[in-house]
Structure formats: structure tokens, C-alpha cells
Amino acid sequence: MTYFLLQGLTKASDNLLNYSDVLTYLFYEKVMHKTPREHFTAYAQMRGMPWASWFPKFTNLLVIAIAYACIAPLVLGFATVGLFLYFVSYRYNILYVLQMKVDTKGEAYKRALQQIPTGVYLAELCLIGLMGARKAAAPTALMITLLVLTAVLNLVMDRILRPLELYLGVDIWQEREVPLLAEEDSIDPHDLAALHGASHARRLGLKKLPNPAPRILSDIFDSVISTARDKAKAWLSDPSIASREDMEPLKDDEVEKAYLAPALTSKMPKLWIAKDKLGASKAEIELNEGAGMPTTDEAAEIDEDGRLHWDHDFEHVPIFKKPHRV
């Protein structure tokens, strides 16, 4: 029980302090970085989210909490407090300190849902072992049945989520699929409930079951995700979102470069050098501009002691652009 409180208090405060990133920033700012662009990048760019190190850590915490809860339910209360402190600290970091450099496109949420039942399996196995050791036949049989039902439900949920993960616009091609399935299965095309049930029965692999089992199970499992799917569909069909007809057509040069690597199509970045009193930066700018390389020495200057000074106001930084809202 104290483990979760200790983890929540120590790790949450460590996340808020974030001393490693502060020391790294100071080291690079004072020692390593020399050019104005390097200083600006270190000042403006945030560290990415380490998904690979986050998921195993929190998976272990959740699995431990769920597995121990079957023996000592009080663990859930302490785990809730500890995980809530984690939540507060990581929420602050995600909003103000970290940057999402790898877009998981929602797969991280699905992966988390698939990992949590591990604790449920362990808890049920522990209860089966405890009841079996006491030679309690009826409770042991009930727990074995519950374990089998949990595995079946987990399998069905995975099959439901898999099309939503792999394909885009799954509802669109399902609508086109339903009439074809109705013709093949000899279903009345005007019976919407039967059409819907037949489509889901095929996707869930329930077609081999006798009627009306596929339709009943389809309605049960479909009701689990119908609310979230309707919300997503309403958002995608929102008239405030620009449709394809409202978008400007692509130009011929854009079509030709659509599948080229960004390194071949991106524009040359502006070279940012520091201004000096001897005029070397001006000569360098003229030389680079003659070769077709845009260069500037605005908002950065080297003093007499060789120290670099740059304007920390982003409005004056020549390599910064305001994001355009669509």
C-alpha cells in the first residue's frame, strides 16, 4: 500500500522538478551551443514524450494494483491516490514541458486498454489457486468460468477495435458492404436490424452460431462502442470542417512532388549568423546571398568579449514564424 503512495509522492515531485532537463538545458546553453540557431532551438524546442518508457512503467503499476486487489481491496484506494498524483504531474508536463514528436494516432490508447486486463487475469488465477488450495469446489468452478468469460470478452473486444485501428473510414465501406452481404445471406434489404446484425456477425466471426445468436451478440457488443462511434461520426461530418469540395485544388508542381522525400522538396532554411562590429557578418551575408543562400544577422550579436547575445523575443527572431490557424 505504501508503495503506491511512495511512487506517487516521489515520482510526481520529480516530474515537476525535472532537474535533468534543466541541467541539460543549462549545459548546452552555456557550453555546447555556439550559433544563434542552436541557442534558439534549445530555448524553443521541447523534449519529446518517451512513450516506450512510459507504458511499461504504468502497466506494471496497474497490473500490481488490480492483481493485489482481489486479496486486499484496500490497495485500490492507495493506488488511486498514487496514480492521481502521477496524473497531475504528467498532465502538467504534457501541456507545458513535453512535445508530441511521435503521433501514435490513437493506437496508444488501444494498447493501454489491451494491457490492463493482464491484472484481471492474474487476479482471477490467484483466486482460483487460493480456492483450489482450500478445496472449495463450487467457488473454484465459478472462478474458472469467469476466467473463460473474461478471455472471450477480451478476444471479442480486440476484434471490434482492430478494424477501427487498421482502416480509415470503416463506417463508409461498411455501408457499402451491407447490401452485398444482404444479397448473399438472403436477408430482406428493408430489415435494417437484420442487415446490421449480419454485418457485425461476419466481422466478429459469429456467423457459424445458430440463429438468432449472431444477431443478439452483435447487438450487445455493438452497443458498447456505438456511443463513441456516433460522436466520432458527428465530428467528422461537422459542416464547420472544410470538405474536399471547399479545398483548393492541388497545383501541377505540388502533384509532381507529392511523393518525393521532404529533403528534396523543402525550401532552403535561412542561415542565421551573429552580427559583429568588424563587419564580417555583412560580408558573409553578401557572399551567401550571391550564391542563393538566404542569410541574416538580425536579433543576434557578438560583443567585444566574444559572447553571443540574441533577442529572446520570438517576434524578432528571423527564423521564427507564427503558426497559421486553419
Instruction: Pick 105 or 149 by higher pLDDT.
Output: 149
Q: What are phi and psi of 70, to 5 degrees?
A: -70, -25
Contact in structure between 154 and 183 (CB atoms under 8 Å): no
Give the percent of the chain with pLDDT over 70: 72
Q: 60-98 burial, b if ≥16 CB within 10 A, otherwise e?
A: ebbbbbbbbbbeeeebeebbeebbebbeebbeebeeebb
pLDDT above 60: residue 93: yes
When pLDDT is cut at 50, 70 and 90, the band that residue 326 belongs to is: very low
pLDDT digits (tens, 9 = 90+) for 31-81: 888 888 888 888 878 888 888 788 888 888 888 888 888 888 888 888 888
Give the percent of the chain with pLDDT over 90: 11
When pLDDT is cut at 50, 70 and 90, the band that residue 283 belongs to is: very high
Per-residue pLDDT at 45:
80
Per-residue pLDDT at 96:
86
pLDDT above 90: residue 251: no
Helices (DSSP H) in 103-212: which residue ranges? 107-115, 117-133, 137-166, 170-185, 192-203
Does the pTM surpass 0.75? The reply is no
- How many CB atoms neighbour CB 7 within 10 A? 17
Q: Which three cell numbers stand for residue 3?
A: 508503495
Per-residue pLDDT at 187:
64
Instruction: Pick 242 or 209 by higher pLDDT.
Output: 209
Please report where in the chains the cell 504534457 appears, as a residue: 94
pLDDT above 70: residue 194: no
- pLDDT, averaged across the chain: 78
